[in-house]
Amino acid sequence: MISHEQIVHFSEQLSKGKAEAEAARNIMKFMCAGVGLVLQDEEVSPIVKSAFAAAHKYWFEREKNEKELNAVRVKCWDFLEAKGRDVDIEDNEDAAVRALFCVMYPDRVSDEDFVQESFQWFFEMINRVGDFSQAFEKLAAKVALEGGA
């Protein structure tokens, strides 16, 4: 599992020497790429795959698709609600969707508190899915170095 110390280290590593906006964007890209790592071994609904694709396009291709991102976020909430999981988290897919939500609010990326709270929640959900500590160590180093994954 990813420890609190690792989470703090990731945040510092992704933010070091960067202006606040660039650091926040690095953190969002890291989380988005992290969701991709988690989803590659999970069986998830096409709705979740489509939402991840929209988030990836937004953070990595710099395509300003806020409307699309907002629409797929709503579809993900509807999907969880249809499963009766709008409150409860019962399986890996539920946790992965909630981790994905952390990168589906592009208009909030300038809110430092929102980014830090999302970062904490993101890892709470990732740890529910499995132990990705080694993969995330490598990912954090890559994003910090390249500014992307």
The whole-angstrom separation of Cα 22 and Cα 96 is 25
Residue with tokens 């993969």: 135
pLDDT tens across 11-27, in order? Answer: 999 999 999 989 999 99
Would you list the DSSP string of 42-67?
A: S---HHHHHHHHHHHHHHHS----HH
pLDDT of the residue at 15: 93
3-state secondary structure string across 62-116:
CCCCHHHHHHHHHHHHHHHHHCCCCCCCCCHHHHHHHHHHCCCCHHHCCCHHHHH
d(Cα 143, Cα 149) in Å, to the nearest integer?
5
pTM greater than 0.85 (yes/no)? yes
Q: Write out pLDDT tens, residues 80-131.
A: 999 999 899 999 999 999 999 999 998 898 898 999 999 999 999 999 999 9
Cβ(99)–Cβ(38) below 8 Å: yes
pLDDT confidence tier of residue 149, bands split at 50, 70 and 90:
low
Cα 26 to Cα 143: distance, rounded to the nearest angstrom: 7
Backbone φ and ψ for 105, nearest 5 degrees, come out as -125, 70
End-to-end Cα separation, the chain, in angstroms: 21
